[in-house]
Structure 1
Amino acid sequence: MNDRLTPAFASRSVAVKAGLNHPVIDTDVHVNDYTPVLEDYVQQYGGGQLVDALRKVLGSRFNTRSNGKDWYEQTQQERRHHRTLRSPWWARVTRNTLDLATYTLPELLNERLAEQGADYSVLFPNDVLAPLGAGKEYRQALHRAINHFHADQYRKYSDRLTPVAGIPLHTPQEGIEELEFAVKTLGLKVINIAGGVRRPIPAIAEKYPAAEHPDVARHASYTDFYGIDSEYDYDPFWAKVVELGVPVTTHYGSQGWTGRHSISNYMYNHIGHFADGSQAFAKALFFGGVTRRFPKLRVALLEGGADWGSHVFTHLLDRWEKRNRHAVQNYNPAHADLDLLEDLFHRYGQDLIKGRKLDKATLLRDSLGRSALPHSREPNEDEIDDFALAGIEAPEDIKTRWVDSFYFGSEADDRSVAAAFNDKLNPLGAKVNAIWSSDIGHWDVPDLTEPLAESWDLVEQGVIGPADFKAWVFDNPYRLYTEANPDFFAGTAVQRKLDSGK
């Protein structure tokens, strides 16, 4: 028997855990679906046709295709010709076969949680959002089947493990229907969404219908981030989320976006892509006023780290101070003193004028350049205030609608998490809500017993302090879930530990 399956085995993380006086909550654990049983559930929801739809979408998830071939089937010349995005190769743990089995067998994962050093884990099955790649006729049934499978697989271990429900958001109504089914029927209590929906650009779609020009349709699209500039009013969905007391989570990436579309290098596309994707989604909710209208909405943005949450918070404040509806008048051409401008040109601009006759009427235009000319009409108040929908009247409003609403998943060995806790760097003495996200189950964690110890290494190296560590692995995750649902941890190992005072 592998010595790790014996009571005598103690990992580095077990030693760290023994010295803590608080629980550890892992907000991001990836697990595999055992295909034969998953397909049994899918069969019950839609027969063999739905199983075929699942197999098709799973078979194409990591294969970017052009001209009928995936990246690995194409020659270098074909990749260049079609600009085929480099997709990932091996992405799951395999050599560590014990971990491979752990991520596939719920009972084994539950047993080894203590070895990992966690008291409670939120699980993200790798296929939970796979139905988003299926056709509209299959999407709802696949989501229900997969969510039902996950709910049943982990219900027995609910004191330590809870899987997320995958929720499609092509329309608000679709999201509401699946949210209610997942929460009310299946008893799931965390949801996972994509941070955006790709939609056709109407002007191009009218000229090049997708049925006739599929290649044009594939490339000529934009992303709807559910907030600012959205195709739909998603407020009914956010209202239902708050009503049901469900935290929202996303692992939204940006591979394939401009600047992340290498045809040869996966790492070039990968580094930073979760931060960029989640930033677009979070800013849409902020600038669209979603976090203003729904102050109890709690959103976790995973796998991108917390440092980007810190720098966006800083830049929001910096820009609001310069571009709020009052300060932006500093740049209004109507406020230029033309008499003063003419006088200064006469006094200091003779080398430029060189005998030219100054025309006060065109002097402003000539100084600003034609690209800065006033528009044909005066803007209204909302058009000059980019912070209008967010309702920002003071710096503290930005903190409330950014720092309080969003939680940032930081992996165990991510040294940049220190930015989240740097209240000297962050405006208003704020600390950004970093949440501990081990990401076990993916290629960046070859051994599930290491992440907690790697995070404690940052304390020993002086990167963060012990109080920051506690906030990272317990305080912030606990607040994320309980602010959405005060009873989130009722009956769990976390609540028992808190009740016992140990």
Structure 2
Amino acid sequence: MTGPRDGAVTAGRYTVISADCHAGADLLDYRPYLARAHHDAFDAWAATYVNPYEDLLADTADRNWNSDRRLAELEADGIVAEVVFPNTIPPFFPSASLLAPAPTREEFTLRWAGLRAHNRWLADFCALAPGRRAGVAQILLNDVDEAVREVRRAHAAGLTGGILLPGTPPGSSLPELHSTVYDPLWAVCAELGVPVNHHGGSASPPLGHEPAARAVFMVETTWFSHRALWHLCFGGAFQRHPGLRLVLTEQGAGWIPPVLATLDYYHARLTTSRAQLDSAEAKFGAGLGVRAPSAYWRENCFVGASFMRPHEAPLRHRIGIDKIMWGSDYPHDEGTYPHSREGLRAAYAGLPREEVAAMVGGNAAVVYGFDLRLLDRIAARVGPTATEIAEPLTEPPAGATSPVFATGAAGRAW
């Protein structure tokens, strides 16, 4: 893609696609999607499982699986389509799969069965709203051949959101993402045009349960998620697989220009040293390709800029107008629902319409294969108007919990 989508404001309304939403089945509803051989193990696991997440126990938990409620609430929020990441607990997992990337040998078979059950459920869930949901399939990295088979199966089942790439946090025992052991995975994703999504929070190591752990997690978690970018760049994944696409979701967007500058600096420094064989740094440049990381960003990478903050929008040209995909993070508390229109105003008021149109929907349509002819017709009925989004937000909506409305260093004084 070379630029933002042209003519993306239909009947004066934006076609808004959320590039970051979450869904999953209610716990017992996963059972029909498991092979019969796993039913007894599932019954035993489910009978003693205690869900650790308050939002999955609340009366609003059905937003994850109630298709009609979900469509109605998203439309009321001005959103016509969504990229669907996991949220509920898949079978045989102790917690959300984002936080459990590396099962033991004993757990491996059941964990794989649980993720496949989620993927099968998600394909059916997306089929309830044809053309409006791009489901993201889950995989494990312990067995790359199994991961490749699941990518092909999920793609054939109609999950157009690509795959959720697990993290490889310290202590996971998994090879790091720069390893060539993952080349078969990158190859099949490039072959099928399957986006590789790396979601924030999916690569952090355990930090314990002391009171400070949550604050430390907030400081470190996005950095651990960012690592996928330089691992794939320096590991040569994009060089060997030019069609590979990496999407970094719910990790913010303002970090991208300075990090690319840092990566380019090290790339130039180490490749120069490699050419000077008497340099003490020459050995550190071994294996690096000739292209700078910023070149791979321009050609292979995108950002799922969930609830994009006001201070990030001025960086849009440095990030790339055609790289940014806004997300509401529905149904999470930190998401913008039911104030997505105000969230869009906070980030994009006063910007050129064609740029806003690209960031709120046009780019996601290209990356995830949405049919804009279908979605434009829905947006003409429910989408936010261009005039509305152009109006600066002067104060946050009452009861809003999304960080996009926060004050402070990364927010604004309302």
TM-score with structure 1 length normalisation? 0.63
CA contact (8 A) 2:82 2:133 kept: yes
Does residue 398 of the first structure (1) align with residue 318 of the second (2)? no
CA distance in 2, matches of 1:420, 1:168: 34
* Correspondences of 1:206-245 after superposition (within 5 Å): 224-227=175-178, 230=179, 233-245=181-193
Q: State whether structure 2 residue 148 is matched by structure 1 residue 176.
A: yes
Equivalent in 373, 389, 392 of residue 288 of structure 2: 389
Q: What's the CA shift string for 1:22-56, capped at 9, x where partnerless?
A: 41111111124222322333364621113445677
Q: 1:181 to 1:391 in 2, by over 3 A?
A: same
CA deviation vs aligned residue, 1:440-461 (integer Å, no higher than 9, x gap) = 122213x62212321222233x
Question: Which residues of structure 1 form unaligned runs of 5+?
Answer: 1-16, 63-88, 200-219, 334-373, 482-487
Conserved 8 A contact 2:165-2:196? no
The amino acid that maps onto 2:175 is D
What does residue 35 of structure 1 align with?
27
The count of aligned residue pairs is: 363
Amino acid at match of 2:238: T
1:491 deviation in Å? Answer: 8.6
Match of 1:125 in 2: 86
Amino acid at match of 1:102: R
Secondary structure of 2:264's aligned partner: helix
The 5-angstrom pairing of residues 292-307 of structure 1 reads 292-307=239-254
> Where does residue 489 of structure 1 map in the other structure?
370
Identity of aligned residues (%): 21
Aligned residue number for residue 476 of structure 1? 363
Deviation of the 1:490 alpha carbon? 4.2
1:343-365: CA deviations, max 9, x gaps? xxxxxxxxxxxxxxxxxxxxxxx
Superposed displacement of residue 317, structure 1:
2.3
Task: Report the structure, 1 or 2, having the larger helix content.
Answer: 1
Tell me, in whole angstroms, the C-alpha distance in 1 between the residues paired with 2:244 and 2:45.
34
Instruction: For residue 400 of structure 1, report the CA deviation from its aligned partner.
Output: 2.7
**8 Å contact from structure 1 (residues 241, 247) kept in 2:** yes
| Cα offset, 1:403, TM superposition | 3.0
1:140 and 2:21 matched: no
The 1:266–1:221 alpha-carbon spacing in structure 2 relative to 1, beyond 3 Å, is: closer
Check if 1:163 corresponds to 2:135: yes
Is 1:196 aligned to residue 147 of structure 2? no
Larger radius of gyration: 1
Distance 1:272 1:174, change over 3 A: farther
Structure 1 residues 50 and 34: alpha-carbon distance in aligned structure 2, compared to 1, 3 A threshold: closer
In structure 2, what is the equivalent of residue 103 of structure 1? 64
Q: Tell me if structure 1 keeps the 8 A contact 2:191–2:243.
A: no
Once the two structures are superposed, the pairs formed by residues 13-52 of structure 1 within 5 Å of their partners are 20-42=12-34, 44=36, 46-52=38-44
* Map of 1:282 onto structure 2: 229
C-alpha displacement of 1:257? 4.2
Q: What's the counterpart of residue 342 of structure 2? A: 453
Letter in structure 1 aligned against 2:346: D
Higher relative contact order (CA 8 A, sep 6+): 2
1:312 corresponds to which of 252, 256, 259: 259
Cα pair 1:415 1:458 within 8 Å, conserved: yes
- Matched position secondary structure for 1:122: strand
